[in-house]
Structure 1
């Protein structure tokens, strides 16, 4: 644990490989785009009212004209990003890191700048990377040692505790306590329950961010917590197997950079549905296809993706967790967009989307099951009205480290996500300041935070 806490408090921007900094820059841009697009959801509107009423304070909420306390801003920001399932993730955690880390980082930076701390853009990038490194390892360790399949909020709060402890300048002992509090209070919510019954609880990341930030605030007041067993192998001395797993997970921190092993989503729906989308798009690319002539669509994939079974979503949460609806939208639009999952007549209530969605049948394949979670595969077979069958090869989702989105695709995604809420000039300013973050002094960093408010 001492090495981990030293990493949290003493890592410097100058210690970071340039490739890691570049990846952090695109994580920043991507998450901000998702956050801006989330304001159109009912989830975000409810949370905005809730935190500003129940958790009042002076910290600006992301892309909002409302304010809340530090903890309220973290709860809102993570819930906002989680409301549109387009944010980055990591396969071994089976979940999402940045969704909690970024809003907590921005809120804590805002508070510390207001207190007169001379924080720069280098600190933003460095803290963001620390959050990814800590939270990803916490997620891997928890999945490897726990019996249940839990949401991201169960572990991404530890990354929030780490970066807030750094920015608040907690002592080593207080940081140790903050990490323990965050793990103990992290929401160990059941992931597959929100897959089978999609609602606004989503991936638990709002409460993960809340657990993380309040843990540092409590530790700063000398509140104590139980040891974080996903981090401290010495606490598992009665279980040699788990001790070895935890030790192995943390021994390469500062050498292996897990932020480079995050994936970026091409579409704002569950990652498990995206291999199926790619299989459909492959068929479309290779065959002139009139979707009105489709008789049946069979998707063969892994078990967890099969659980994304809803064919007639009634809200955006159900649409984001629906493989059939994602496939139908890809056939109709050639992609899956925020507009297609929106609660509008042109979006998820469109009769053609619903009719096509109901033609999708999902089967699981043992070979694909065996590869999950490190790999997620699917293939599709479309049967036309004339009896002709069109089949794809096995496909994975785009945006993994081995098949990344291009830089142009990443920027285009940001512009598409923010086109309805941010003017072009401000879009360009946000991109420019993100890409030159290391050059921002405290005054310029404050100006950057001002860009994340409504015009």
Structure 2
């Protein structure tokens, strides 16, 4: 066992909830609330329905001790199946949090993992639930940075968030350091090294691979618990990886996640926000815009450019997102699904948009997500946004009230005001030493009314 792994195991398994800074606990609670809103809103969407039905078909368990109910569904499947279904569902509405240095998302697997494991922990204190959440964020985030640093392919979040899932399971199931080590090795070996840019070029329900990351991470934990062995995780135990773990427990990555204002690929957000800034500054309506040029980084310029036929294509389309925002002043679930996909006004506006890659923006990726826009108006003006960073992250943070308002916007239409508020209050209470996770559990499993 290497020194790096011993350090990681000590953090994951023995750090007391009381030793986590209040700021990290507050951030973790807000990230769980934000993710919950997206999970709820994604429930009625086709990908979520398919994922839950498939988990019931393929990923059930013969042992109640290894079973969990699917969130807002109620059917019992395996622990891994429940996490898979909820993570896949959430991943298919691209409005959940992320972390710039990982080029991916973490909360999308953390919340489903917590919910599945906590089914067997009825007395779990709220602060301990947050400690498990923070364990997932801190370990998955560093595993992601380590993996990106050690390979050349651009892989999805599922490749590395499996390790955060395994660490959460080890903590909540009381595993030994050796069991955690084997689980990490299994999770890293089988983590889905799926090709992100392939999905960008042809958007589908695969999204960021997080459903499979959750499935692999919990499967790895159970395998290790039963004696299965795995090769040491090189993203933790190799000499080259050591630097990525040296600030574990001193720098809290969970405090530096970004919150998405829109359920759209993060790469498009700077362009949307630049358009928003110009329209607000000049009191500009969509009918006053003749042409709109977006300058952004390489990956953003690679986003789907055609008129989307599916919600997956819509969520990965920069021109579509900019057009929707310019016309409606917001981007909601109704704009990226159903009739919103065939809105003739959006299609017409997209013909006025041009996207170009600019080196100065590319050079700042992945630490930042930058863009600028140039808008030519019908009356002959040329308006510039200047360089704009996507809102919602450390560079342009959302307030606590912003995050809560976003949660309510997404959750309330599906579960109703009373239930949405009760869920909100239960999650935000976890910072209270006297709170219990079970206050939330009672609200999670009844399917929403049609």
TM-score in terms of structure 1 length? 0.93
Unaligned runs of 5+ in 1: 235-242
The yes-or-no answer on 1:41 pairing with 2:41 is no
Q: How does 1:21-420 map to 2 (within 5 A)?
A: 21-57=25-61, 58-113=67-122, 118-234=123-239, 243=240, 246-344=241-339, 347-420=340-413
Q: Secondary structure at the match of 1:339?
A: helix
Q: Secondary structure at the match of 2:72?
A: coil
Cα offset, 1:336, TM superposition: 1.7
1: distance between equivalents of 2:349 and 2:74?
Answer: 40
Unaligned runs of 5+ in 2: 62-66
Conserved in 1, the CA contact under 8 Å of 2:161 and 2:210? yes
Conserved in 1, the CA contact under 8 Å of 2:389 and 2:395? no
2: distance between equivalents of 1:56 and 1:25?
Answer: 30
Q: Secondary structure at the match of 1:381?
A: strand
The yes-or-no answer on 1:452 pairing with 2:444 is yes
Question: Which is further off, 395-404 or 377-386?
Answer: 377-386
Matching residue within 425, 429, 433 for 2:426: 433
- Which residue number corresponds to residue 238 of structure 1? none
Matching residue within 6, 19, 22 for 2:10: 6
Cα offset, 1:186, TM superposition: 0.1
Cα offset, 1:445, TM superposition: 2.3
2: distance between equivalents of 1:309 and 1:163?
Answer: 35
Cα offset, 1:390, TM superposition: 2.2
Q: Deviations over 1:218-259 (max 9, x none)?
A: 00011000110000124xxxxxxxx1xx11110111111111
Conserved in 2, the CA contact under 8 Å of 1:122 and 1:439? yes
Given the superposition, is the C-alpha separation of residues 158 and 394 from structure 1 closer, same or farther in structure 2, using an over 3 Å criterion?
same
Conserved in 2, the CA contact under 8 Å of 1:186 and 1:208? yes
1: distance between equivalents of 2:124 and 2:434?
Answer: 7
Q: Deviations over 1:53-107 (max 9, x none)?
A: 2222441112223331111101101101101100000011000011111101110
2: distance between equivalents of 1:451 and 1:146?
Answer: 42
Q: 4+ runs of 1 displaced by more than 4 Å?
A: none
The yes-or-no answer on 1:17 pairing with 2:12 is no
Count, aligned residues = 438
Cα offset, 1:156, TM superposition: 0.3
1: distance between equivalents of 2:416 and 2:433?
Answer: 22
Relative contact order: is structure 1 or structure 2 higher (C-alpha 8 Å, sep ≥ 6)? 2
